[in-house]
Amino acid sequence: MLRKSSVSIAKDRVKALVVSDRVHCTPDVYDNICRELFGSLSKYIELTEDDFQVNINRTQVVITFAGEDV
Amino acid sequence: MGEVIVITSGKGGVGKTTTTANLGAGLSKLDQKVVVIDTDLGLRNLDVVMGLENLIVYNLVDVIEGTCRLKQALIRDKRYENLYLLPSAQTKDKTAISPGQMKKLTAELRDEFDYILLDCPAGIEQGFMNAIAGADRAIIVTTPEVSAIRDADRIIGLLESNKLKKMDLIINRIRIDMVKRGDMMTVDDVTEILSVPLIGALPDDEQVVIGTNQGEPVIGLDSKAGMAYMNICKRIMGTDVPFMELSNNPGLLSRITGLFKKD
């Protein structure tokens, strides 16, 4: 199967939609939030984009940092 | 003291009414005294799904306005022990009743019934507010589609801000063949996005269409959806029932031919 599964597209779309509904912003605002948070945190912590994740759920904003494998 | 449960979804057409009818029938099979209430004013449907449309004399608005007594408006479903329907009004709209009146009505019904199930209208307007006003808990129905999940998420947010914290999720119309192909979200995908505890996952079952054609809940029929609904009823009552496998195990031959099938 060469085509990208439609589920991964659906998941990306619905995740962007619920985040923008939850914080009342457009989907690209979420990307900007992530980028800026990454920018400010990487001043203090050694980060790669793969280690870093921002989740906005209905009650809180969670920043996940995978950190260094020990 | 009965429990008031609102069945809601945000988006229309995901299966709220069918779910309400089947959970009502299922709970009554489990020896509970149940009343199902259609709160969709102007778009009465629950009576049709249950096959009770010819028995309506009075409706929800009549009860609230005092045109009749509550007992007169309740329709007994003769096929089930202790299952009653309070139909909606077809000629009124959502402004005919208020959240306060619904609260009073459900409070009255609590003394008489074990479970009061409210079939909520689609949308987030007054009809929704009326339906959730007296509820202790909510069952959110969604399908594995982007639009339905998005609407469910908004509904969950609104329920939380209205202090309705006890809620469970039903994922409806799962097509296991599509899930396997990667063309439909899995149960885990949906619960991860919505982060609400799962109370049931229903396969897309032809028997549901056949059942609604006949005005007969599938819970009485030998079908996957019927069994899944029955399990949900048991979970509502607090029994821990394992989630059933949705896929039919295909025989060896079909599995081999499946290998060569081009999608």
User: What pLDDT sits at residue B257?
Assistant: 52
Residue to substitute from A1, A5, A7, interface B, most B β-carbons within 10 A:
A7
Is the pLDDT at A2 greater than 80? The verdict is no
User: What pLDDT sits at residue A55?
Assistant: 84
Residue B214 corresponds to which tokens in the numbers above? 């006949």
B75-93 per-position pLDDT tens digit: 999 999 899 999 999 998 8
User: What pLDDT sits at residue A68?
Assistant: 62
How far is B191 from B197, CA to CA, in rounded Å?
7
Tell me the pLDDT of chain A averaged across its residues: 84
Quickly count: other Cβ atoms within 10 Å of residue B65's Cβ. Answer: 14
With CB atoms and an 8 Å threshold, state whether B157 touches A17: no
**Per-position DSSP letters for chain B, written without gaps between them:** --EEEEEE-SSSSSSHHHHHHHHHHHHHHTT--EEEEE--TTS--HHHHHT-GGG-SS-HHHHHHTSS-HHHHPEE-TTSTTEEEEPPPSS--GGGS-HHHHHHHHHHHHTT-SEEEEEPPSSSSHHHHHHHHT-SEEEEEE-SSHHHHHHHHHHHHHHHHTT---EEEEEEEE-HHHHHHT-S--HHHHHHHH---EEEEEE--HHHHHHHHHT--GGGSSSHHHHHHHHHHHHHTT---PPPP-S----HHHHHHHHH---
User: What pLDDT sits at residue B126?
Assistant: 95
Average pLDDT for residues A37-56, to the nearest whole number? 88
A28-45 per-position pLDDT tens digit: 888 888 899 999 999 998
Task: Give the nearest partner residue to A18 out of B150, B160, B182, using CB atoms.
Answer: B150
With CB atoms and an 8 Å threshold, state whether B182 touches A5: yes
Q: Which residues of chain B have pLDDT under 70?
A: 220, 247-263
- Tally C-beta pairs within 8 A across A and B: 45
Supply the pTM of this predicted model: 0.88
Burial class (CB in 10 A: 0-12, 13-18, 19+), A38: middle
- Evaluate whether ipTM surpasses 0.95: no
How distant is the Cα of A55 from the closest Cα of chain B, in angstroms?
Answer: 11
With CB atoms and an 8 Å threshold, state whether A5 touches B146: no
How far is B232 from A58, CA to CA, in rounded Å?
26
B1 part of contact set with chain A, CB < 8 Å: no
User: What pLDDT sits at residue A28?
Assistant: 80
